[in-house]
Copies of this chain bind each other. A is one copy, B any other.
Amino acid sequence: MEKGKQSFIAEARRDQIIEAAIKTLDEIGYVKSSLSQIAKRAGISTALISYHFSNKEDLINHLLTKLLEESTSYIMDHVLAANSAQEKLNAFIKASLSYQNTHPAHNTALIEIVFNARTPENIPYYKLVDDEEEDPILAELKLILYEGQKSGEFKSFHVDVMANVIQGAINEYMFTNPVLTKKVDLSTYINEVVHIISSAVKK
Protein backbone atom coordinates (compact mmCIF):
# COMPACT_ATOMS: atom_id res chain seq x y z
CA MET A 1 0.00 0.00 0.00
CA GLU A 2 2.75 2.43 -0.93
CA LYS A 3 0.18 4.67 -2.48
CA GLY A 4 -1.98 4.57 0.60
CA LYS A 5 0.94 5.70 2.68
CA GLN A 6 1.75 8.54 0.33
CA SER A 7 -1.75 9.89 0.26
CA PHE A 8 -1.80 9.56 4.02
CA ILE A 9 1.09 11.97 4.30
CA ALA A 10 -0.50 14.35 1.82
CA GLU A 11 -3.82 14.05 3.62
CA ALA A 12 -2.15 14.83 6.92
CA ARG A 13 -0.57 17.95 5.44
CA ARG A 14 -3.85 19.07 3.99
CA ASP A 15 -5.49 18.61 7.37
CA GLN A 16 -2.66 20.51 9.01
CA ILE A 17 -3.07 23.37 6.57
CA ILE A 18 -6.81 23.41 7.09
CA GLU A 19 -6.38 23.50 10.86
CA ALA A 20 -3.91 26.36 10.50
CA ALA A 21 -6.40 28.16 8.30
CA ILE A 22 -9.09 27.79 10.96
CA LYS A 23 -6.73 29.19 13.56
CA THR A 24 -5.81 32.07 11.27
CA LEU A 25 -9.42 32.95 10.49
CA ASP A 26 -10.23 32.86 14.18
CA GLU A 27 -7.28 35.02 15.16
CA ILE A 28 -7.09 37.69 12.49
CA GLY A 29 -10.27 37.32 10.42
CA TYR A 30 -10.93 36.60 6.78
CA VAL A 31 -9.62 39.85 5.35
CA LYS A 32 -6.14 39.46 6.77
CA SER A 33 -5.96 35.69 6.35
CA SER A 34 -3.37 35.52 3.60
CA LEU A 35 -1.65 32.32 2.57
CA SER A 36 1.52 33.51 4.24
CA GLN A 37 -0.32 34.06 7.53
CA ILE A 38 -1.76 30.56 7.30
CA ALA A 39 1.64 29.14 6.37
CA LYS A 40 3.24 30.88 9.32
CA ARG A 41 0.78 29.25 11.70
CA ALA A 42 1.28 25.88 10.02
CA GLY A 43 5.04 26.25 10.23
CA ILE A 44 5.46 25.66 6.50
CA SER A 45 6.18 27.71 3.39
CA THR A 46 3.39 29.39 1.44
CA ALA A 47 4.45 27.47 -1.64
CA LEU A 48 3.54 24.24 0.13
CA ILE A 49 -0.04 25.41 0.48
CA SER A 50 -0.14 26.07 -3.24
CA TYR A 51 1.28 22.60 -3.73
CA HIS A 52 -1.51 20.93 -1.79
CA PHE A 53 -4.39 23.14 -2.87
CA SER A 54 -4.81 24.39 -6.39
CA ASN A 55 -6.08 27.76 -5.21
CA LYS A 56 -6.78 29.92 -2.25
CA GLU A 57 -10.42 29.48 -3.18
CA ASP A 58 -9.89 25.74 -3.27
CA LEU A 59 -8.48 25.81 0.25
CA ILE A 60 -11.35 27.93 1.51
CA ASN A 61 -13.89 25.60 -0.04
CA HIS A 62 -12.30 22.52 1.47
CA LEU A 63 -12.21 24.30 4.79
CA LEU A 64 -15.83 25.34 4.53
CA THR A 65 -16.91 21.83 3.60
CA LYS A 66 -15.07 20.45 6.58
CA LEU A 67 -16.56 22.97 8.98
CA LEU A 68 -20.06 22.41 7.69
CA GLU A 69 -19.74 18.64 7.78
CA GLU A 70 -18.33 18.77 11.27
CA SER A 71 -21.03 20.98 12.74
CA THR A 72 -23.72 19.16 10.81
CA SER A 73 -22.73 15.73 12.06
CA TYR A 74 -22.35 17.07 15.61
CA ILE A 75 -25.90 18.37 15.58
CA MET A 76 -27.31 15.41 13.68
CA ASP A 77 -25.84 12.95 16.16
CA HIS A 78 -27.65 14.61 19.01
CA VAL A 79 -30.92 14.95 17.12
CA LEU A 80 -30.95 11.32 16.05
CA ALA A 81 -30.55 10.21 19.66
CA ALA A 82 -33.86 11.86 20.54
CA ASN A 83 -37.30 10.39 19.96
CA SER A 84 -40.30 12.70 19.92
CA ALA A 85 -40.44 15.81 17.78
CA GLN A 86 -40.23 17.99 20.89
CA GLU A 87 -37.19 16.11 22.15
CA LYS A 88 -35.58 16.34 18.75
CA LEU A 89 -36.23 20.05 18.59
CA ASN A 90 -34.76 20.56 22.04
CA ALA A 91 -31.76 18.45 21.10
CA PHE A 92 -31.35 20.48 17.94
CA ILE A 93 -31.28 23.77 19.82
CA LYS A 94 -29.05 22.46 22.56
CA ALA A 95 -26.56 20.84 20.19
CA SER A 96 -26.41 23.86 17.91
CA LEU A 97 -25.62 26.15 20.80
CA SER A 98 -23.26 23.71 22.51
CA TYR A 99 -21.25 23.38 19.33
CA GLN A 100 -20.41 27.06 19.57
CA ASN A 101 -18.92 26.53 22.99
CA THR A 102 -17.07 23.33 22.30
CA HIS A 103 -15.63 24.48 18.96
CA PRO A 104 -15.25 28.24 19.31
CA ALA A 105 -12.45 28.64 16.78
CA HIS A 106 -14.23 26.49 14.21
CA ASN A 107 -17.37 28.46 14.78
CA THR A 108 -15.63 31.80 14.27
CA ALA A 109 -13.88 30.49 11.17
CA LEU A 110 -17.23 29.43 9.78
CA ILE A 111 -18.69 32.88 10.33
CA GLU A 112 -15.66 34.56 8.82
CA ILE A 113 -15.90 32.53 5.65
CA VAL A 114 -19.65 32.64 5.25
CA PHE A 115 -19.88 36.39 5.70
CA ASN A 116 -16.73 37.36 3.82
CA ALA A 117 -16.10 35.00 0.98
CA ARG A 118 -17.71 35.64 -2.38
CA THR A 119 -17.94 33.62 -5.53
CA PRO A 120 -16.01 34.85 -8.59
CA GLU A 121 -19.36 36.31 -9.65
CA ASN A 122 -19.40 38.38 -6.46
CA ILE A 123 -22.22 36.55 -4.76
CA PRO A 124 -21.63 36.40 -1.01
CA TYR A 125 -21.50 32.94 0.49
CA TYR A 126 -24.10 33.92 3.07
CA LYS A 127 -26.60 34.20 0.26
CA LEU A 128 -25.69 30.72 -0.92
CA VAL A 129 -25.37 28.45 2.09
CA ASP A 130 -28.92 28.62 3.36
CA ASP A 131 -30.16 26.91 0.29
CA GLU A 132 -32.29 24.09 1.67
CA GLU A 133 -30.74 21.55 -0.64
CA GLU A 134 -27.25 22.49 0.39
CA ASP A 135 -27.92 23.07 4.06
CA PRO A 136 -28.96 19.77 5.60
CA ILE A 137 -29.20 21.42 9.00
CA LEU A 138 -31.98 23.74 7.93
CA ALA A 139 -33.67 20.85 6.14
CA GLU A 140 -33.51 18.73 9.30
CA LEU A 141 -34.97 21.51 11.42
CA LYS A 142 -37.88 21.91 9.05
CA LEU A 143 -38.37 18.15 9.01
CA ILE A 144 -38.60 18.09 12.80
CA LEU A 145 -41.19 20.85 12.72
CA TYR A 146 -43.22 19.16 9.98
CA GLU A 147 -43.23 15.81 11.71
CA GLY A 148 -44.19 17.41 14.99
CA GLN A 149 -47.17 19.01 13.31
CA LYS A 150 -48.12 15.77 11.58
CA SER A 151 -47.92 13.77 14.81
CA GLY A 152 -50.01 16.36 16.62
CA GLU A 153 -47.22 17.33 19.02
CA PHE A 154 -46.93 20.81 17.54
CA LYS A 155 -49.63 23.29 16.75
CA SER A 156 -50.12 24.99 13.41
CA PHE A 157 -47.57 27.61 12.39
CA HIS A 158 -45.56 28.65 9.34
CA VAL A 159 -42.75 26.12 9.27
CA ASP A 160 -40.33 28.16 7.17
CA VAL A 161 -40.70 31.18 9.41
CA MET A 162 -40.53 29.22 12.63
CA ALA A 163 -37.38 27.47 11.40
CA ASN A 164 -35.87 30.84 10.66
CA VAL A 165 -36.78 32.18 14.10
CA ILE A 166 -35.15 29.18 15.75
CA GLN A 167 -32.03 29.47 13.61
CA GLY A 168 -31.93 33.18 14.42
CA ALA A 169 -32.13 32.50 18.15
CA ILE A 170 -29.20 30.12 17.80
CA ASN A 171 -27.03 32.22 15.52
CA GLU A 172 -27.62 35.44 17.39
CA TYR A 173 -25.98 34.02 20.48
CA MET A 174 -22.71 33.41 18.71
CA PHE A 175 -22.47 36.90 17.33
CA THR A 176 -23.01 38.51 20.69
CA ASN A 177 -21.00 36.07 22.71
CA PRO A 178 -18.73 38.31 24.77
CA VAL A 179 -21.33 40.77 25.99
CA LEU A 180 -24.24 38.51 26.52
CA THR A 181 -22.13 35.80 28.08
CA LYS A 182 -21.31 38.04 30.98
CA LYS A 183 -24.95 38.13 31.94
CA VAL A 184 -26.26 34.87 30.54
CA ASP A 185 -24.17 31.74 30.47
CA LEU A 186 -24.67 29.13 27.79
CA SER A 187 -26.70 26.64 29.80
CA THR A 188 -29.08 29.38 30.92
CA TYR A 189 -29.40 30.59 27.36
CA ILE A 190 -30.11 27.06 26.12
CA ASN A 191 -32.75 26.49 28.80
CA GLU A 192 -34.46 29.80 28.14
CA VAL A 193 -34.47 29.39 24.36
CA VAL A 194 -35.73 25.82 24.64
CA HIS A 195 -38.50 27.10 26.91
CA ILE A 196 -39.46 30.00 24.64
CA ILE A 197 -39.46 27.90 21.49
CA SER A 198 -41.26 25.01 23.17
CA SER A 199 -44.16 27.16 24.20
CA ALA A 200 -44.21 28.66 20.72
CA VAL A 201 -44.60 25.30 18.97
CA LYS A 202 -46.37 23.12 21.57
CA LYS A 203 -50.05 22.56 21.13
Contacts and interface: CB of A to CB of B under 8 A. Distances in A.
Interface stretch (A1-9, A10-18, A65-73, A177-185): A177-185
A116 B33 CA distance: 12
How many copies of this protein are present in the complex? 4
Interface of A: 27-32, 108, 111-112, 115-118, 122, 124, 126-127, 130-132, 157-158, 160-162, 164-165, 167-173, 175-180, 183-184, 188-189, 192-193, 195-196, 199-200
Contact of A183 (B122, B160, B193): B160
Chain A facing B: main interface SS: helix
- Looking at A108, A177, A189, A192, which has the most chain B CB atoms within 10 Å of its CB? A192
Contact of A196 (B172, B195, B200): B200
A117 B29 CA distance: 8
Given A127-B175, A200-B199, A193 B165 contact: yes
Contacts of A131: 179
